[in-house]
Structure 1
Amino acid sequence: MRTRTDQNSRYPSNTKSEILNWNFAHFVKGHSDKLTMMLTIAIVQFSIAVMMVPFLGYPVPEAWIWLSLAAVPHTTYKIALAKAYELGEMTKIYPISRGFSIVLVTSVSMLVFHDELTGVMLLGILIIVLGTFGLSVPENSSAVRLSGVALTLCLGAGLSVAAYTMLDGVGVRVGENATTLKSIATFAAWLFILDGLGMMTFMYFYRGRSAFIAAVETRGRGLLAGFAAFACFWIAIWAFAHAPIALVAVLRETSVLFSLVLGKLFLSEKIGVRRSFFALVTFFGIVILQFS
C-alpha cells in the first residue's frame, strides 16, 4: 500500500497531537488510580463519539473489520500503560513504550505496506529512536530501575501502540472517499465507541460497578484528559489518511519530549545531563524529518 505524503499538513497536525498526547499521559500518571483515570478518559471519548454519530452516519462496510481489530489494542494500551505507571516513573516508562512502537511501526509499514521513506527520512527516524530509548536510561547506577513487570508492561503498551497505529492507518484509508473529512471523522468516531465499550467492559469485570462510581468522582480532570485524548487521536487518524504511517507514528511518538518536561515540572521526576543529551538527539531527529 503506497501512500502519498502531504508536505503541507503532516507536521503541524502532529505537533498538536504530540502536545495533547503528553497532556493526556500526564493526567493519567498524576492520578492516584491510573486505571480509573483511563476509564474516565474512555467514557469521555465514547460520549463525544456517540453525539457525533447522528451527523456522521456509519463507516463503509469494509472498514468494520479494521475498526473491530483496532479497538482491541487501543484498549490493551490503556490498561498496560496505566498498570506500568503504577510501577515506575513517567519519564522512563513513556519513552520505552513509544520508542518500541516506532521500531515496530516503521518496520511493518515498509516491509508489509510498502510506505515510501527516503534515506534522509530513515536517518531521522533512527536518530529519534535512539534518542527516545536514551531518555529512559537512568542517570547513574544508584537510580531506581524499572522492575521486570514494569518493563514487560512498557513493551506491552508499545506493542499495542504499534498494532493500533497500523490498523488505524490502514482502516482509515479504506473506501473511495477515504481522505474526506467526513469519512475520517466517521472512522474515528466509531473507533472511539468500540474502544470505549472495550474499556468499560474490562473495568466492569475487573472491578465491578465501583469502577464507574470512581470514574464519576474524577470527572473534573477526567473531562480535560478525555478531550485531550480525543483530539490527540483524532488528529493522528486524520494524518494517517494523508501521510505515510511510519512518519505519522514517529512524529506523534516524539511526545516523549513533552513528557520529560512535564515529569520534571509537575511530577518531580529527575532530568540530568544524560536525559538532556538524549532529548537534544531526539529533537535533532525531528528537525531532520521536518526538512526531509
Structure 2
Amino acid sequence: MTLTVFFAVLCSALLHAGWNSFVKGSARKDLATFSLVLAHVPIAVIGVVASPLPDAASFAYVLVGALLHVGYQLFLMRSYMHGDLSQIYPLARGLSPVLITLVSLVFLKVHLGPIELAAIAIIAVGIAMQAKSAWHSRNSQSFILAFVTGCFIAGYSLIDGTGARIAGTALGFYSWLSILNAIFMLAFMAVTKPSLIRALPKVSLTNAAISGAGSFCAYAIVIWACTQAPIALVSALRESSILFAILIARFVLKEQITRHRMLAVSLIATGVVLSRLGH
C-alpha cells in the first residue's frame, strides 16, 4: 500500500466517523439515515456523468452491493437506537476486516504476511472484549445488531472492492451503486414506513447535504483504494475511523467510556497500525 493510498484511507476514516456521529446524535436516527442515503444521489449523478460506463461484467456487483448497503444502513440505524457510538461503531467496524481476511484467505487466495495476520488477530481480540462488555452491561440487543451490521459491512466491502476492479472505474461503479441504493431504500420505506417520506421536509437541507457528501466521499475513496491495494488491508486500515469515533463520542456526544472499552478500542487501533507496517 502506497503512502497516497494510506493517507487517502485515513481521510476516508475521519469522514466516515463524522457522518456516523451525525446519525447517532440525531433525534430521529431513521430519518437521518434515510436523508443521508438520498443525499448521495446528486453527487452520484455527477459521478455518473464524469465517469465512463462500468464494464457490463460488474453490473451484478452493482445490484448485489446496493442491496447489501440497504441492509447495512437499516441495521446501523437500529443499532444506534439501542447503543452508544463508542460501543456500536468499534464492534461493527472492527468485525468486518476479520471476516474479510478469512474470506480473502480461503476463497480469494490473497496472501497476507505474518504481521498482517497478527494485526487482524489483535483486532479480533479487541472486538471480543467489546462483545464481552456489551453482554455484561445486559445490552445484548445492541451487540447482536452491531454484529449483523459488521457482517453486512464485510459483505459489501468484498462485493464492492471486487466489482470496482471489474468495472474499470471506481467512481463510476460507486455512483451507479449509490443511485440504486437510494432507489431501493426509497422503495423499502414507501412500503414499510411511508411516514418517514412525509417527514423528509423536517430535515435540515444543510445537514443532509454535508453528511451525505461526507458519506459518499468517504466510501468512494475506499472503493478506489480497493483497486490499488488488497481489500483486506484497506478494510483493516479504514477501521482507524474507530479512533475518530471514540473521540467524537467522548468530546462531542459526551458518552461515558469505561477503561475496559478504551482498552478494547486501543487493541483495535494497534491492529490497524500493524496492518500498515506489515505491507
TM-score (norm 1): 0.88
CA distance in structure 1 between the aligned counterparts of 2:228 and 2:28, rounded to whole angstroms:
37
Letter in 2 for 1:153: L
Identify unmatched segments of 5+ residues in structure 1.
1-5
Could you tell me the percent identity over the aligned residues?
29
Aligned partner (choices 136, 139, 147) of residue 146 of structure 1:
139
Letter in 1 for 2:196: A
CA distance in structure 2 between the aligned counterparts of 1:46 and 1:139, rounded to whole angstroms:
36
Relative to structure 2, which stretch is displaced further, 95-104 or 57-66? 95-104
CA distance in structure 2 between the aligned counterparts of 1:139 and 1:37, rounded to whole angstroms:
25
- Cα displacement (A) at 1:137: 4.8
Residue 283 to residue 156, structure 1, CA distance change in 2 (3 Å): closer
Structure 1 residue aligned with 2:271: 285
CA distance in structure 1 between the aligned counterparts of 2:276 and 2:112, rounded to whole angstroms:
13
Aligned length: 277
SS in 1 for 2:82: coil
Structure 1 residue aligned with 2:83: 88
Structure 2 residue aligned with 1:269: 255
- Cα displacement (A) at 1:140: 11
CA distance in structure 2 between the aligned counterparts of 1:277 and 1:155, rounded to whole angstroms:
19
Structure 2 residue aligned with 1:39: 34
Aligned Cα root-mean-square deviation (Å): 1.9
Relative to structure 2, which stretch is displaced further, 43-52 or 11-20? 43-52
Relative to structure 2, which stretch is displaced further, 234-243 or 129-138? 129-138
2:212 aligned with 1:226:
yes
CA distance in structure 1 between the aligned counterparts of 2:49 and 2:273, rounded to whole angstroms:
41
TM-score (norm 2): 0.92
Structure 2 residue aligned with 1:49: 44
Relative to structure 2, which stretch is displaced further, 165-174 or 83-92? 83-92
CA distance in structure 2 between the aligned counterparts of 1:135 and 1:147, rounded to whole angstroms:
11
- Cα displacement (A) at 1:119: 0.7
Whether the aligned pair in 1 keeps the contact of 2:79 and 2:146 (CA below 8 Å) is: yes
CA distance in structure 2 between the aligned counterparts of 1:170 and 1:140, rounded to whole angstroms:
35
Residue 73 to residue 117, structure 1, CA distance change in 2 (3 Å): same
Structure 2 residue aligned with 1:28: 23
Letter in 1 for 2:152: S
Letter in 2 for 1:56: S
Structure 1 residue aligned with 2:161: 169
Residue 252 to residue 202, structure 1, CA distance change in 2 (3 Å): same
Whether the aligned pair in 2 keeps the contact of 1:139 and 1:272 (CA below 8 Å) is: no
Structure 2 residue aligned with 1:212: 197
Residue 259 to residue 77, structure 1, CA distance change in 2 (3 Å): same
Letter in 2 for 1:94: Y
Structure 2 residue aligned with 1:158: 150
